[in-house]
Amino acid sequence: MTAASPIRIAVVGHTNAGKTSLLRTLTRRVDFGEVSHRPGTTRHVEAIELQVDGRAAVRFLDTPGLEDAVALREHIDAAVDPRSELTPPERIRRFLAGPEAHGVFEQEAKVLRALLEVDAAFLVIDAREPVLPKFRAEIELLGACARPLLPVLNFLREAGSREPVWKELLSAYGLHVVVRFDAAAPFVGAERELYRDLSTLLRERRAQLDRIAAYLDEESARRRQAACERVAELLVDAAATRRTASAVEFEIESSRARLVAALQKSVFDKAQRCASDLLALYGFRENDADEAPLPLVEGRWAMDFFHPEALKDAGMLLGKGVAVGAAVGVVADLALAGLSLGAGAALGGAIGGALSQGFGPLGRKLANRLRDLRELTVEDSVLLVIAAWQLRLLRALELRGHAAVERIASNAGAAPDLEAARRPLSGLVRAAQPARSHPDWESGARARWRDVPQRSALVLRVARQVPAALEALPPAA
């Protein structure tokens, strides 16, 4: 075997300890295997690879759960003469060659057979379980295969975790290196520590394992940067969004309502596309309601973007002192002295709030006034609410394992808890302001869109401010 060959790791443990869950998180493959609360979901050995630098670095074997280790240990002990000089691995191989390995103990045989063929194994343990005789028997059987065994304590965040008791048991069997890893909500840096701890057991593979840990750090940084740029792209896109209507259209209440609704839908669709891109970037499926449901799956986004209370709080955070109840700003009948918004006031807009946004080049404003046109644009308060929601989503994805089956709290982006993030969130909105003067920068639906260097440069400037805003967000409720 060459030094560059994939490291072979069997993932073993009791039924429903979270073996498949761990692999989904380590490989970011939400479609691998089946995660369920039902016992015995995995029935066969399945392989999945972790790619590093375009090559397979680790080949994982997902094994069935050990179901009757106590009976198997008793069977093996009874089948071997106590005076025999067979080593533990030889005793295991003798059992695998017998008929019981294809009969009553077929499930356990699959696990032991896989374990004999790998470089090491992760022993996944549900830390909520009491330490029962069956678990002792499992550790003894797995240890008899004479492969390096790294215990992985799972579900540590949940109530009822028995971590100290499990560590005491593992130490009694000489397993002193233990990894704390919650597959549903991994601890920060847990993956890196997992591979570094494994390197203490596989010294000849240390260089490979160090490279895997470094690659994961690099990949995480690239993913974070791409996510920041995508959020920045959304804010620039939304800030550039502008719709024009005739004064006659605008004076008719039903027509005005239709125009506002259309602009709201356009903004909503842009935000949904951004959310979908973030989900894909972090290896989640948009409609994966059983695996990683998020608020957007439940259709709450449109309501929260334009909810009056959210906009009111957002307006206060921006320092305007006034919220625009219509969720869109209106550039209409603008007098040169800035004293009147004319028909725009009918949407609940405030003069101070609207003027603080900027209205684009003076030439366009004057031309539209002469042609008696009205313009709709997106309020700063809406931009702030959108930014807060996207950052909440981004944070949830960074902390969420691909094994999670519980729902993320639907109030994760509630506006009242944004006070701590006032300055960085407001800074994001201000940074996107130059896009207001460039309606041709709006992407997607409009034929006039063009991705110019100035727009790309603005997206990067906004993206540089996203990490600070992300870190400033308070923890989700």
Task: For 360-383, write each residue's pLDDT tens digit.
Answer: 444 455 445 445 677 788 888 788
Q: What is the mean pLDDT of residues 66-78?
A: 89
Task: State pTM to two decimals.
Answer: 0.73
Domain boundaries, the chain: 7-201, 226-472
462: closest CA among 447, 441, 448, 476? 441
More confident residue, 436 or 419: 436
Given this model, what pLDDT does residue 389 score? Answer: 83
d(CA 401, CA 24): 8
Task: For 316-369, write each residue's pLDDT tens digit.
Answer: 556 543 333 333 444 333 322 222 223 333 333 332 333 334 444 444 554 454
Domain topology for 7-201: Rossmann fold (3.40.50)
Q: What is the mean pLDDT of residues 238-263?
A: 84
- Percent helix, percent strand, percent coil in the chain, to nearest 5: 55, 10, 35
More confident residue, 40 or 339: 40
pLDDT at 457 over 70: yes
Given this model, what pLDDT does residue 347 score? Answer: 33
Lowest mean pLDDT of 84-88, 365-369, 376-380, 472-476, name the range: 365-369
End-to-end CA distance of the chain: 50
Pick left, alpha or beta for residue 174 (phi over 0 → left; psi -120 to 50 → alpha; otherwise beta).
Answer: left
Can you state the angle between helices 380-398 and 422-431, rounded to 10 degrees? 120
pLDDT at 408 over 80: no
Q: What is the mean pLDDT of residues 73-86?
A: 84
Lowest mean pLDDT of 79-83, 122-126, 368-372, name the range: 368-372
Report the share of the chain in percent with pLDDT over 70: 70
Question: Which one of 85-99, 243-257, 277-291, 330-344 scores highest in mean pLDDT?
Answer: 85-99
All residues at 6 or more sequence positions from 338 whose CB lies less than 8 Å from its CB, including other chains: 351, 355
Token look-up 């375009």 returns: 54
d(CA 182, CA 347): 49
DSSP 8-state secondary structure symbol assigned to residue 87: -
d(CA 418, CA 370): 42
Given this model, what pLDDT does residue 413 score? Answer: 40
d(CA 458, CA 469): 17
Q: Is 54 exposed, middle or buried (0-12, 13-18, 19+ CB in 10 A)?
A: exposed
Given this model, what pLDDT does residue 146 score? Answer: 94
Given this model, what pLDDT does residue 25 score? Answer: 76
Average predicted confidence (pLDDT) for the chain = 75
Given this model, what pLDDT does residue 284 score? Answer: 72
Q: What is the mean pLDDT of residues 127-147?
A: 93
Lowest mean pLDDT of 207-211, 338-342, 393-397, 414-418, name the range: 338-342
More confident residue, 450 or 176: 176
Q: Is the dihedral of CA 14, 16, 17, 22 positive or negative?
A: positive
